[in-house]
Amino acid sequence: LPANHTKLVTAAMLAIGDELLSGRTKDRNIGYLADFLTLKGVDLKEVRIVGDNEPEIVEALNALRARYVYVFTSGGIGPTHDDITADAVAKAFQVSIDHDPRAMKLLSEHYAAREIEFTEARKRMARVPHGAELIENPISAAPGFVIDNVNVLAGVPSIFQAMLDSIGPTLEGGIPVKSVAIDSPFPEGTIGTALAELQKRHPETAIGSYPRFDGERYTTQIVIRFRDEQSGNAATHDVKTMLDTLQLQEQDK
Amino acid sequence: LPANHTKLVTAAMLAIGDELLSGRTKDRNIGYLADFLTLKGVDLKEVRIVGDNEPEIVEALNALRARYVYVFTSGGIGPTHDDITADAVAKAFQVSIDHDPRAMKLLSEHYAAREIEFTEARKRMARVPHGAELIENPISAAPGFVIDNVNVLAGVPSIFQAMLDSIGPTLEGGIPVKSVAIDSPFPEGTIGTALAELQKRHPETAIGSYPRFDGERYTTQIVIRFRDEQSGNAATHDVKTMLDTLQLQEQDK
């Protein structure tokens, strides 16, 4: 979707965790981030999922952070040995990593208030790459962090979402994409050729089509996405005209 | 997870579709494929999601097919202009693409039996790269295809799943990974250091830990994954001993 001559704000996500690849955990953060970014006018362009494997995290992160305005990671910042995201991010940026004094203070106060021992394992959650800023975690205190254009968030969905809310105001948004959904009583196979023509005629919009089956009939939801209102209106008008024409033709039979 | 000196069968998935990145559709195929491959002993190592963009599909596909034993794609093989997966796959393999006679026969018979017009748009679904074998689609006839190590499947979950069943018997599996789940009454922060030691002592297994919160207490589910029964039993034994020891210590306080 063209950005109408304004700067396109792009993003990628890197979801980290063996449990996502084994099927043990079904990811719920990708769809949430997609919705969140769409509302902010940021174009999510690519998602990758890799396991708890340092070279693979480093390689994916370096590929994504060079290519997109923002990168968001999920997972691997807990207290156990398989939580290696912070170390992998430090390696990707070639910076040192240590227990961050700000994070140590946050966590020691959090656990002291709850009379929970601040174990070595829990101190792992204060490991933050040099030069990163912390991201607030209002749920369980252990912070995420931002380094350059990479936002490192927790994998637990409630914490992932709370951290996104924490950084939301700091993200530069683009012009939000609007969308119009039009129900077509015809299946994709009937309208496909006409729809392709309309897409060519309205390159400033993205016309998508999604098949539906109600158990009896195939129909289609047509979704027109646009940043510029006038382009969106023109495409919407033409799609509706196309559907009306087909309906009249049908009645003539 | 080491494969115990047998060939590791690896796989990657490439999910294709703007609707997955805009949040309009929440992917349900990744988790399904992960479960499916785990049962077959195939290690899903990486997942990527890209939009309906030919250069991006080609680049991701070429990266993944060079690196893993199998690649599975989902989406983009319907009848409309935004269904560009087959053309992108042909480009990635640098082979020609045309209406495949076998697919044309399948589809023309399917539509004739239902008295549905076999439109140009529907004929798009018979476009198959040169040299590919068809994958049966028992739900809506339009086939997927296999070319070299790449399996091209539909994005609609019911059809994705049916196509996986069609190719399942042709896939070479590995030694299935088994797993044992052990409930720890302690939170991750309490057992993290001990668990890291046990992971080092049992490198033939993958010990994962997953935090749980029941609204009152934090506990942990420990999951031990292994291919070799003996290694799995030894790790399970040691994890249980560790938990028993901590519980006795707790009672002593």
pLDDT in tens, chain B (253 residues): 655 445 789 999 999 999 999 999 999 999 999 999 999 999 999 999 999 999 999 999 999 999 999 999 999 999 999 999 999 999 999 999 999 999 999 999 999 999 999 999 999 999 999 999 999 999 999 999 999 999 999 999 999 999 999 999 999 988 889 999 999 999 999 999 999 999 999 999 999 999 888 878 889 999 999 999 999 999 999 999 999 999 998 888 7
Name the pTM for this structure: 0.92
Q: How confident is the model at residue A2 (pLDDT cuts 50, 70, 90)?
A: low
C-beta neighbour count of A197 within 10 angstroms:
13
Question: Looking at the complex, does the CB of residue B215 fall below 8 Å from at least one CB of chain A?
Answer: no
C-beta neighbour count of A50 within 10 angstroms:
27
3-state secondary structure of A227: coil
Question: Looking at the complex, does the CB of residue A108 fall below 8 Å from at least one CB of chain B?
Answer: no
Closest Cα in chain A, distance from residue B119 (Å):
7
Q: Cβ-count burial of B57 within 10 angstroms (0-12 exposed, 13-18 middle, 19+ buried)?
A: buried
Q: Concatenated DSSP letters for chain B?
A: ---TTS---EEEEEEE-HHHHHSSS---HHHHHHHHHHHHT-EEEEEEEE-S-HHHHHHHHHHHHHHSSEEEEES--SSSTT--HHHHHHHHHT--EEE-HHHHHHHHHHHHHTT----HHHHHTTEEETTPEEE--TTT---EEEETTEEEE-SSHHHHHHHHHHHGGGSPP-PPPEEEEEEESS-HHHHHHHHHHHHHH-TTEEEEEEEEE-SS-EEEEEEEEESSHHHHHHHHHHHHHHHHHHHHHHHH-
Tokens of A225: 């996405």
Q: What is the pLDDT of residue A252?
A: 83
The residue-averaged pLDDT of A219-227 equals 94
Q: How confident is the model at residue A6 (pLDDT cuts 50, 70, 90)?
A: low
CA distance A252 to B7: 64
Find which of A177, A186, A188, A242 to mutate to test the B interface (most B CBs within 10 Å of its CB). A188
Question: Looking at the complex, does the CB of residue A208 fall below 8 Å from at least one CB of chain B?
Answer: yes
CA distance B43 to B61: 18
Question: Looking at the complex, does the CB of residue B2 fall below 8 Å from at least one CB of chain A?
Answer: no
Using alpha carbons, select from B45, B35, B60 the residue that is nearest to residue A55. Answer: B45
- Of B27, B117, B188, which is closest to A31 when you measure between CB atoms? B27
Interchain CB distance below 8 Å, B21 and A156: no
Tokens of A238: 């033409």
| CA distances, A122 to each of A25, A136, B189 (Å) | 23, 17, 5
3-state secondary structure of A113: helix
Exposure pattern of A85-103 as b/e (b: 16+ CB <10 Å)? bbbbbbbbbeeebeebeeb
Find which of B24, B29, B205 to mutate to test the A interface (most A CBs within 10 Å of its CB). B24
Strands B133-135, B10-16: pairing kind: unpaired
Per DSSP (E only), the strands in A2-149 are: 10-16, 43-50, 70-74, 97-99, 127-129, 133-135, 144-147
Tokens of A154: 């927790």
- Of A49, A79, A191, which is closest to B47 when you measure between CB atoms? A49
Place of tokens 């990758």: A48
Closest Cα in chain B, distance from residue A189 (Å):
5
Interchain CB distance below 8 Å, A211 and B156: yes
Closest Cα in chain A, distance from residue B120 (Å):
7
Question: Looking at the complex, does the CB of residue A20 fall below 8 Å from at least one CB of chain B?
Answer: yes
Say which residues have a Cβ less than 8 Å from residue A38's Cβ, sequence separation at least 6.
Answer: A44, A176, A177, B22, B23
Run of H or E residues at A124: helix A120-124
Q: What is the pLDDT of residue B250?
A: 85
Length of chain B in residues, anyone? 253
Tell me the percentage of chain A whose pLDDT exceeds 90: 89
ipTM reported for the complex surpasses 0.90: yes
The residue-averaged pLDDT of A154-169 equals 95
Place of tokens 């006795």: B248
Question: Looking at the complex, does the CB of residue B87 fall below 8 Å from at least one CB of chain A?
Answer: no
